[in-house]
Amino acid sequence: MRRRRAHPGELVSCRLPPHRHRPPSQRSRMPRAPSASRPSDSAAPATGGVVRLRRADREREIVQGAIQYFADVGFAGDTTGLARQLGVAQPLLYRYFQNKEALIERVFQETFLSNWNPLWEEMILAPEQAVAQRLLEFHRDFARVHLRRERVRLSLFFALHGWDMSPYFRVMRQRVYEPIALSLRQYTEAGRDGQPFAVQEIELAKTVVEKIQYHGIRQWVYGLPVPEIEPVIQASVASLLDGVGAVLGKPAAKSS
């Protein structure tokens, strides 16, 4: 059929093709950039699940992991290696500790101050026991705590790191060496009650403790075979009491 040509000025109706409405699911969308994930306070176990720890538990886990890590590699080790050993993202560590030095400070507190046995002083000064028995019991318990691998190695790393160990040394003097020195006065009846402790008294009081410390260094630093600590403690305490009279006076018969 022939299409009629429109005359000038005549309106012509026209039809547009119908608009095809596309449902929202078919409309083109801009791809979304993946959101940056924040460090999660969780760890994924081998089973594929996610274990979320309470903040206090996670902090304790980090501190215990740091104690083992720094005991192995020293304080030259970085937080990247620590995070790898713990199986967490490195930024997670900084949610609990401002920097590496703050973490090392916490390691020092946990290793040398927080696990202090408050009964040691009472053990050394127990009036119902003979001095020899007191010293044996104290040094046995001190060895049980001090001869742990992490404590022995960290004591050297802290010293080499230039860390201020004076808080630990101060506690050792006040709560271990001075009570031992007082017990030695009682053993010899030196008659110096109330007087300041002389240098040689404090040095004598350190004798068995330092023997135990060196025992740990031989084992955990030098890697040498060492004997059982019990015979070492017994011999060291006996030697101390046998020789203390030459410095402080004749031992009292009732305290031997």
pLDDT at 75 over 70: yes
CB atoms within 10 A of CB 85: 15
* pTM of structure: 0.74
pLDDT at 71 over 50: yes
Closest residue by Cα to residue 189 from 237, 121, 244, 136: 244
pLDDT value at residue 94: 93
- How far apart CA 27 and CA 23 sit, in angstroms, is 7
Q: Contact 176/209 with Cβ under 8 angstroms?
A: yes
Residue 150 to residues 21, 102, 189, Cα–Cα distance (Å): 72, 19, 40
pLDDT value at residue 250: 64
pLDDT value at residue 248: 76
Mean pLDDT of 224-247: 94
Res. 253 pLDDT band, cuts 50 70 90: low
pLDDT value at residue 252: 58
Res. 114 pLDDT band, cuts 50 70 90: confident
Res. 191 pLDDT band, cuts 50 70 90: low
Partners of residue 42 on adjacent β-strands: 52
Higher pLDDT, 47 or 78: 78
pLDDT value at residue 190: 65
pLDDT at 175 over 90: yes
pLDDT in tens, 14-62: 444 444 545 544 444 434 444 444 454 544 444 444 357 788 899 999 9
Q: Contact 100/182 with Cβ under 8 angstroms?
A: no
CB atoms within 10 A of CB 67: 20
